[in-house]
């Protein structure tokens, strides 16, 4: 472990998140948190839909399915400083399923990592917001992703590095269910368990769909909790659209004895009726009319 002085050198530990451990969320405080995160989630969804609609291309389905997860991470759990993206004590987030970049961008903008107006330049030539996350261009992006099945490994590396330095930071990685067909995910899973990376938490966006159809029809993922347990991970299962369940699971993960995964049941395209569970909206932008309709459903203007 790194000496305490190292921690001190970096100044105090306060980031955005409360850094709570194992706290039980109940009572009015919990209800306020729920309300706050649900409001944020709705707004994030609107940004995502508009962003992709204006760009004319992108991945709405898998961006919308992980909104509550990202909200729980960035607006509840993670210690980070949008004004100082390189703050050494920050927690790290890796979007292993990089095509959900719009969700991440919406969150980062809302946190203040960059101007919200940037969102409307998504995927444009020269934009800070690339089709897939680019760490060199976008403040708050820890590592570039887009080729599936690599982000969890990168998160392992971060967790190893932070542990070597005795830093208390945690690393979070969001993985897709289709993405879990990549062998690289299981290589990382094995290494993380072997190294007992208790500062690493993966979240699985278990929306049941990939591009060519339902995961269970393309290449079934079978019993995912059993798979992860057999690979030595602590498994939690939550409703991935229940912000409190997510926050609680994130808190509980702090106490894991090794790497932990939160398997979040989600709905691809969540929040937009005609996108929900619709595989066609994996990687297709809404038309202008669809965009307007979606924004209406999401309470635009309220």
Q: From the list 16, 48, 143, 244, which residue makes contact with another protein (rule: CB under 8 A)?
A: 143
Answer for which of 183, 257, 289, 301 binds its own copies (CB under 8 A) is 183
The only residue of 144, 153, 207, 236 in contact with ligand TPP, by rule CB under 6 A: 207
Contact range with Mg ion by CB under 5 A, out of 48-56, 123-131, 173-181, 274-282:
173-181
Q: Is 147 in the site for its own copies (CB under 8 A)?
A: no
- From CA 95, how far away is CA 88, in angstroms rounded? 19
| Residue choice 68, 118, 179, 182 for contact with its own copies (CB under 8 A) | 182
Give me the least distance between CB of 176 and another protein, in Å please: 8
Under rule CB under 6 A, which residues in 133-172 are in contact with ligand TPP? 146-149
> Considering beta carbons, is residue 66 or 244 the nearer one to ligand TPP?
66
Q: Which does 58 bind (CB under 5 to 8 A by kind): its own copies, ligand TPP, another protein, none?
A: another protein
User: Can you give the binding site for its own copies, defined by CB under 8 A?
Assistant: 149, 181-187, 190-191, 193-194, 219-223, 226-227, 229-232
User: Can you give the binding site for another protein, defined by CB under 8 A?
Assistant: 55-58, 92, 94, 98, 123-127, 130-132, 134-136, 142-151, 153-162, 164-165, 178-179, 181-184, 187-188, 190-191, 194-195, 210-212, 215, 218-219
């Amino acid at each position: 472990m790194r000496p305490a002085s190292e921690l001190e050198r970096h100044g105090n530990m306060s980031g955005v998140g409360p850094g709570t451990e194992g706290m039980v969320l109940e009572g009015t405080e919990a209800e306020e948190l729920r309300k706050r995160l649900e409001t944020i989630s709705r707004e994030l969804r609107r940004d995502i839909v508009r962003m992709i609609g204006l760009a004319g291309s992108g991945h709405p389905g898998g961006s919308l399915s992980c909104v509550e997860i990202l909200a729980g991470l960035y607006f509840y759990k993670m210690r980070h400083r949008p004004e100082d993206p390189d703050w050494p004590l920050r927690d790290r987030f890796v979007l292993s399923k990089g095509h959900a970049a719009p969700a991440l961008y919406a969150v980062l903008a809302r946190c203040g990592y960059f101007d919200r107006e940037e969102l409307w330049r998504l995927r444009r030539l020269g934009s800070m917001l690339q089709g897939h996350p680019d760490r060199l261009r976008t403040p708050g992006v820890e590592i570039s992703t887009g080729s599936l099945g690599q982000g969890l490994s990168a998160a392992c590396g971060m967790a190893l590095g932070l542990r070597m330095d005795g830093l208390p930071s945690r690393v979070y990685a969001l993985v897709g269910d289709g993405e879990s067909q990549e062998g690289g995910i299981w290589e990382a899973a094995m290494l993380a368990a072997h190294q007992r990376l208790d500062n690493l938490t993966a979240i699985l966006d278990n929306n049941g769909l990939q591009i060519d159809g339902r995961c269970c029809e393309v290449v079934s993922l079978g019993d995912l909790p059993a798979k992860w347990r057999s690979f030595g991970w602590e498994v939690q299962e939550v409703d991935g659209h229940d912000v409190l369940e997510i926050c609680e699971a994130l808190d509980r993960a702090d106490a894991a004895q090794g790497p932990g995964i939160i398997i979040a049941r989600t709905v691809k395209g969540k929040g937009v009726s005609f996108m929900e569970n619709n595989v066609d909206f994996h990687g297709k932008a809404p038309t202008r009319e669809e965009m307007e309709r979606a924004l209406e459903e999401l309470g635009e203007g309220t």
